[in-house]
Each structure stands twice: as structure tokens, then as C-alpha cells.
Structure 1
């Protein structure tokens, strides 16, 4: 496995590929993402350990969407069975994915815990859904400081886990090494990831603005359904974003050079061909 450095413009290409791949199998990819979110929501209602288990499942959900996107990129229809792909690829990989899930949950809880040192847990309570957001809370300086601290601490955590599930699944890398390689790949390709993030923010803002205008004009017709439409669109956009992740992984890593077919060297089995 080798790290590859890509130009900044590749970030926009990843967004385009994600949108194009989602367009090829919109119902299958959206259904898989909705099922993943529903499963995490159901698990989170378990007393005490439910929210922790839900957090630990996020790396597996990310991997499921990457594998599903790869299937769609190859012209195959993703199935709901891919939701369990992280646990069906041998005992070693399953153990590694469980370790990744535990580490992610622990890291996320540490980030949230750090925010409680600033606002006595207000941001954490709002984020975990225990306290409804209000204008008074949002305007509190302590709440805003806790929010920015959490965002700042979550960034390196997300870089650590960005590629880790895929490295475990496609390259059989150990959990700790996969975290290290993921972080290094993101940092070395920071320009491409900055473009990737900015473009996705633009897509989200443009889509949200357009939908708000449409629902505003048709408010008298759709009525109370406007809120449900907005939530559905947000989930669809999130599914598109997760669909694009596999392309960031594909272009940042390749197997070691070996004699044989050049295309097989460019991508592990199951990944879509690299764009040139």
C-alpha cells in the first residue's frame, strides 16, 4: 500500500464522482444510508450504552457506503446486505473494525467531554439531544466557545478515521496503523481535501437555499410537509457525501508496485478504476 499525492483540483473531481455515482443508483444508495441512520437511531435508545454503541457503528456505516458506492461505480446495484459488510470479511477484519468503532466512540466522547469544561455540559446536552436548542442558548458565549472547541478537536479525529475503515477492509491494515496512514494521507493531500470540503459546503448551501425558496413558494400547498421535505433532502445530501468518500480513498492509496496488469496495481479488488 502506497500513499499518493493528488493535486488540489482532485477535490472537485471527488465531489463530481460522488454525485454522478449517486445519480446512477439513487434509490439503492439512499435506502442503504437511511437504513444505516435508522439502525444507529434504534441502537441509541438503549439505556446507558446505546449512544456509545451508535457512535461505535459509524466507521462501519462509512465503510458500508464506500463499498456500496464502489458497487454502483461498477454498474452493480448495492443491496441492504452491505450494511453488515464490515463484519463479513473474516474474523481478523471484523475484530479490527470493532476496535476502530471502540476507538472512534472513545475519541468522540473525549471531544464532547472537553466541551463540558467550558460551558458545564450545555453544548454536549444540546448535541446529544437531551436539551432543545434555543436562541438564548445559542447566544451564550460559553456555548459558542464549547462549540468551536468541539469542532476544532473533532477535525483531527475525523482525519484519523477518514480512511481507516477502508484501509482495514481493502488492505487488511491493523487499526492503529490505519489511523496513522489515514491522518498522514489527509494531511499530505490537505489542498485536495480543502477543495472537497468547500465544494460540498457549496452544494449543501445551494441545495438548501433552493429548497427553502421552493417550499416557501409552495407553503400553502405542502403545508406541514415542508419540514419533512427539508429533512429528507438533508439526508439525501448526506448520502451523496458518503457516496463520494470511496473516491477520496481510491486516489490517495494504491498497492505496492508488482509485476502484472497496470490497472490491477492501481486499485485493490472491488474499488472503481482510478480516473486519469
Structure 2
């Protein structure tokens, strides 16, 4: 397999493609995103193992949204069944995706366990189980330290798994190799991914500013809080739509995954 190295400005292209593709099929993509969220939320309700189960399903569910994006780029209407694409690709790849999910759950729970060393598990409990966020809790030094430690550890974890589900599903790469290839691709294209992250942050901040401005003009500041929630969900749905393009352009094109990138590929080895 070949890695395709893209310029940093490609991060902006990925954001644009995500928004454009979402607008091509807004009902389908938003509906699938809400189903994605509902599926993970229902998984958390399973007694004792709910949080771990939801984490284990996340790679497969994310792959489902990527497959939906691929369908939308072809002008097709992605059906709800596409969300379980990872479990319909044959037993070998289904098992590989389940292993990948288990590794992700183990990695995430491990980093939460490390964060618990700094605040007795308050942040991990709040994140995994839920609870009330109080000002007193947020001001606790131990809680803040645990939060930043978890964030710092999550960055390398996310890079390991960023491309891994797609590599397993579309290229038949083994789970462990997919983690290595994903990390290598993210490292080589770190500039584009950084621009990608900052661009999406800018989109969100612009939307928040616009909603607040409109609410102020209408003389109803409280409207901003009500409107911003669905707007934020739509932006997150667009973000997930754009993830497919970060994968498509980071690896050498195959018959299944055409790419417009004109950059020269590099050997992963």
C-alpha cells in the first residue's frame, strides 16, 4: 500500500468537500448521523459493559458514516443499512473490525484510568457514566489536571485509529497493521490534518457568532442557546462527513476509492 502525501492546504479542501457532500444529501447524512449517535447511546444502556460496548462500536459506526459519504459522492442516497457496513463485509473483516473496536475501547479506558490517578476518577466517572457538572468540580485542580491529561493522551490514540477502520474495511489490513499505517499517514500529513482541525474550529466559532448576532438583533439572547444546539449537531455531522476525504486522499487510489489528488505517493515501508 502507498501513502499519499498532500500539502497542508488540502485540509481546507477536506472541510469544503465535507460540507458540499453533506449538502448533496442533507436529510440522509443528518439522519444517519443521528442514528449513529442513537446507536452509541443505546449501547451505553447495557448494564455493566455499556460504556465499553459503545467505545468498541465506535470504529465500526464511524466506518458506516464514511461508507455513507462515499455513496453520496457517487450521487446515491445512502440507506440506513449502510451504518452496519463493517458487519456485512464477510466474517474475516467483521472479526478484524471487532478486534479493532476492542483495542479502541481498551485504549480509551486505559487513558481514562491514567487520568483517574490525578483526581480519584472524577473526570473519568463524569465522562463515562455521566453526572452533574458543577462549578466547584470544574475549579478543582485535580479535575482540571485529569481533563488535560486525558486530552493529551487521546490525541495519539485518535491518530492511531483515524484511518484504521477504513483500512480494515476497504483494504483488508489487519487491525495491528491498520493502526501503524494510520499513525504513519497522520504523521506524514500532519500539516493537512492540523489545518483541517483549525478550519472546523473556525466553522463552529463562526456559526456560534452568527447565531448570537442574529439572536441579539432579534432582541432575544436566550434564542442563541436554543438554536445553537441543533446547529452544532449539523456541524458535527458535516465533520464526520469530511472524515472520508481525509482517508481517501491519504492513500494510493484503488478501483474502489478514486482520488483527485495529484501529489506523489510514498511507500509506507
Same-fold status (TM-score > 0.5): yes
**Cα deviation code 1:239-268 (max 9, x no counterpart):** 1001001111111111xxxxxxxxxxx334
For residue 95 of structure 1, report the CA deviation from its aligned partner.
0.4
Q: Does 1:267 align with 2:265?
A: no
Residue number in structure 2 paired with 1:161: 161
Query: What is the SS of the residue equivalent to 1:57?
Result: helix
In structure 1, C-alpha distance between the alignment counterparts of 2:88 and 2:219, rounded to whole Å: 46
Contact map agreement 1:250 1:267 (CA 8 A) in 2: no
What is the total number of aligned residue pairs between the two structures? Answer: 262
Residue number in structure 2 paired with 1:233: 231
For residue 275 of structure 1, report the CA deviation from its aligned partner.
4.3
Query: What is the SS of the residue equivalent to 2:176?
Result: helix
- What residue ranges of structure 1 are gaps of 5+ in the alignment? 255-265
Alignment of 1:111-122 (within 5 A): 111-122=111-122
Contact map agreement 1:36 1:61 (CA 8 A) in 2: yes
Residue number in structure 2 paired with 1:194: 194
Query: What is the SS of the residue equivalent to 1:3?
Result: strand
**Cα deviation code 1:140-193 (max 9, x no counterpart):** 111111111001000000000000000011110000000000001001111111
7 and 195 in structure 1: CA distance in 2 versus 1, 3 angstrom threshold = same
Residue number in structure 2 paired with 1:147: 147
Residue number in structure 1 paired with 2:185: 185
Contact map agreement 2:8 2:191 (CA 8 A) in 1: yes
**Cα deviation code 1:206-241 (max 9, x no counterpart):** 112222333455575x97x86553322222111100
In structure 2, C-alpha distance between the alignment counterparts of 1:211 and 1:268, rounded to whole Å: 43
In structure 2, C-alpha distance between the alignment counterparts of 1:188 and 1:21, rounded to whole Å: 26
In structure 2, C-alpha distance between the alignment counterparts of 1:81 and 1:35, rounded to whole Å: 11
In structure 1, C-alpha distance between the alignment counterparts of 2:218 and 2:53, rounded to whole Å: 40
Residue number in structure 2 paired with 1:252: 250
Contact map agreement 1:113 1:124 (CA 8 A) in 2: yes
**Cα deviation code 1:56-87 (max 9, x no counterpart):** 11101110111111111111111111111010
Contact map agreement 2:4 2:249 (CA 8 A) in 1: yes
Contact map agreement 2:211 2:224 (CA 8 A) in 1: no
Q: Does 1:207 align with 2:207?
A: yes
- What residue ranges of structure 2 are gaps of 5+ in the alignment? 263-269
In structure 2, C-alpha distance between the alignment counterparts of 1:79 and 1:94, rounded to whole Å: 20
In structure 2, C-alpha distance between the alignment counterparts of 1:150 and 1:219, rounded to whole Å: 40
Residue number in structure 2 paired with 1:257: none
